[in-house]
Amino acid sequence: MSFLMTRRECLGSAGGLMALLGLLSMERCLAGAAEPVLPKQPLPQISLGPLPYPVTALEPFLDAKTLEIHHGKHHAGYVAKWNQTLEKLGQKRDLGNAADLIHLYQSLSFNGCGHVLHELYWQSMQPAAGEEPAGRIAAALQEDFGGYRRFLAEFEAVTVPMEGSGWGVLAYSPMADRLVILPCEKHQNMALWDSTPLLVCDVWEHAYYLSYQNRRGDYVKEFLKHIPWREVEQRYVRARAAAGREKPSELS
């Protein structure tokens, strides 16, 4: 259906952004270098797309009022706060002010994940009930969970008892080359659900304590001097290719 394409494009527009977020900006902030001015708008503004079906389409499974509020208030709230946070981030950058940046990035994570997950949520339901998996996804469920029925039982067992609010997620793990079920209790803990990590800095104390004790800042400064950027570049190019955003000619 055509809405799927536009939805995917919309999802994609938020993609790749954590690469910019975590890496470029923070590195430059930390370095305090007088480098060329960053773009004022470091990430794209996003907008709330329409639901892929009328609000009444899922009744009686989900009533129209629920969908109206969920999409028009809750999902819209994530979009609005993402955009507001971006503006604040832009202002801080204009002023060269790195104080309290972590709160803005936390807000981007929280609201960005809220947006990305809701986009996928709307596309995870359809008016007709009873469709069963077929083809490649049926084969994968068979191989990775022992079949469709077993997957259903596991998904329920993980999703229903989740503490507080959260999401039950079926995901593909490239590391395992398998389907995995993820109980996602705090959705911002995954930074941004459509993003691909390109480099990571472990700031758990075990990573640096023997050499740096409580001087995490010194450890991070040194870490930033030791990044193999050619390998990061390769991961970046592969991630863009996997997202369909890299032309074959750009791949090395």
Binding residues for Mn ion restricted to 126-165, rule: CB under 5 A:
none
Q: How far is the CB of 121 from Mn ion (least distance, A)?
A: 7
Which residues, listed in sequence order, are joined to residue 179 by a DSSP beta bridge?
Answer: 172
Q: How far is the CB of 119 from Mn ion (least distance, A)?
A: 11
Q: Is 98 exposed, middle or buried (0-12, 13-18, 19+ CB in 10 A)?
A: middle
x/- letters, 72..91, toward Mn ion (CB under 5 A): --x-----------------
Residue 17 beta carbon to Mn ion: minimum distance, rounded to whole angstroms: 21
Number of residues near Mn ion (by CB under 5 A): 1
Q: Which stretch binds Mn ion (CB under 5 A): 69-77, 78-86, 203-211, 218-226?
A: 69-77
Q: Using N-to-C axis directions, what is the helix angle for 135-145 and 148-159, rounded to 10°?
A: 70
Residue 210 makes CB contacts below 8 A (sequence gap 6+) with none
Q: CB nearer to Mn ion: give 73 or 247.
A: 73
Strand segments, DSSP code E, in the chain are 167-173, 178-184
- Closest residue by Cα to residue 201 from 220, 214, 182: 220
User: Residue 77 Cβ, how far from Mn ion at the closest point, in Å?
Assistant: 10
Closer to Mn ion by Cβ: residue 74 or 149: 74
For Mn ion, the closer of residues 45 and 124 by Cβ is 124
In this complex, which beta carbon is closest to Mn ion, that of residue 62 or of residue 101? 62
By CB under 5 A, what part of segment 225-244 binds Mn ion? none
Nearer to Mn ion, 25 or 107 (CB): 107
Instruction: Give which of 88, 109, 110 is closest to 100, Cα–Cα.
Output: 88
CB of 11 to Mn ion, least distance (A): 16
- The DSSP-derived string for 85-137 is HHHHHHHHHHHT--TTHHHHHHHHHHHHHHHHHHHHHHTT--SS------HHH
Rounded to the nearest whole angstrom, what is the least distance from the CB of residue 118 to Mn ion in the complex? 6
Q: Which residues of the chain form contacts with Mn ion (CB under 5 A)?
A: 74
